[in-house]
Chain A
């Protein structure tokens, strides 16, 4: 794991960006020492609002602040934002098209000590289905920080998914980020690994193993989940003829589903999905072990790659 957690990188970046853009305000729901929105709160107390343990209210208050001309970043746990406050997000953010930035922290199973109540393994499915919502899943701490100005300056609702933890590094500093555009991290020939979030770094490791196993070169792409970079995906399917998706999320409704939907229509090729197979996950002693135990190991990516290559 990297030294800096994704949440810390985000929290510091938000505070930094806050001095550049006085339109930015931040809200939290009694989790500012967890989401690390407290870096912003300490620097800009007059632009920070702690709403208490009330995610639906925070979304609505943020919608009002957006109507009043501000760019609210709302901070909380992904599980609560995507489920308890989902109606508020649909009605008052997406349908009303208010310029609210939802920063969903402790996403996936990154809050490994707290268990299934705190994990968020359906949020991408929930948010992806909302018209007008952009969904971004950074791969590491540096990328999370780099998204902050891009998200703030994009006009419209955004869901930014943040891990509690660090991840294997995957983002090259300075790479231009654009909502709706995927990135090719390395070129390859035989299959394409498509990953988001913490699974990008794991896929880089898997690609190394595949090389030594004689599995051929691999391409890795990661996408903002919505809008999905269709052109990049279709090109990858055409060029390599096999796809493995990998995400820290239920295999229902997230990246794997989005890729399958797109390619089934545009360019069907053999596809395998690495993810959590529709079950609640237990607590763990550390995140790496928990991810391995939940079907998100590097070995699982390698096995899936070998399976998909056999199906070509």
Chain B
């Protein structure tokens, strides 16, 4: 396993911080979006886009690129931020995010945003679509790996488990799922709305290799992703334990911030807590 230098760790941590700042600014300016799940996924997305994914912004449809599906499509702000910082398109294209003439949609749209491998927004699709991409890689003898990022609440949807079964049947070791386990969904705590535990046991019982990490520690996330590529007889799921609204004290663990928008005062406080100089 490649050891990650302290410099690389610091770099990814800084990128995650920037993704949080960008996400909140984007959501505030648009007056719509989903801050809680964007903040919880920041390290996961930072590690994927700036350490793991073999992608080429100059050739976003390259046949053998790694594929990434943001199955929890409501975290679009964090994805758009990563794509712009990775060079797929200019951040200024998001100046009018939310206007009808902005190509970039509320939820990711593969036909409109370069670098988006699959349209998402309705929860539950990512694993099964990832199955198909992984099968296609195998049939075409391509070496790309498919990564799917899900929310934990999303795993209440039955079609997720249909996709999980299918991946196990075909032993799709070129597929890795990451679950952003922040234990909060729109209506409240997941363990109250519809409990998932014993969550890891469920994935294991379905035949997946299960790894659990702290989803805010970039080194753990990166190592888990690297380990996944060394498992050759089954797909891997990384249960990344996170905090919804991570980094902003008043948003943390609050279901209210699943889909609500900070006002200017709240934005400035949030940016200050994230170490960003506030703008009047």
Contacts and interface: CB of A to CB of B under 8 A. Distances in A.
- Interface secondary structure of B, over-half rule: helix
Among B63, B67, B132, B158, the most chain A Cβ lie within 10 Å of the Cβ of B132
Contacts of A61: 128-129, 131-132, 135, 163, 166
Contacts of A60: 125, 128-129, 131-132, 159, 163
A88 B120 CA distance: 11
Interface in B101-138: 109-111, 117-119, 121-122, 125, 128-137
Contact of A68 (B111, B119, B137, B166): B137
Q: How large is the interface on A (under 10, 10 to 19, 20 to 34, 35 or more residues)?
A: 20 to 34
A166 B246 CA distance: 61
Contacts of A25: 139
B129 A97 contact: no
Nearest to A49: B135
Interface in A57-101: 57, 60-70, 72, 87-88, 91-92, 95-97
B165 interface: yes
B122 A91 contact: yes
- Interface secondary structure of A, over-half rule: helix
Contacts of B187: none
B132 A56 contact: no
A181 interface: no
A65 B118 CA distance: 12
Interface of B: 63, 67, 109-111, 117-119, 121-122, 125, 128-137, 139-140, 158-159, 162-163, 165-166, 170
11 contacts: A51-B166, A52-B162, A61-B128, A61-B163, A64-B135, A67-B132, A68-B132, A68-B136, A68-B140, A96-B109, A96-B111
Interface of A: 25, 46-47, 49, 51-52, 54, 56-57, 60-70, 72, 87-88, 91-92, 95-97
Given A57-B163, A92-B125, 5 more contacts: A57-B162, A64-B132, A67-B117, A68-B135, A91-B125
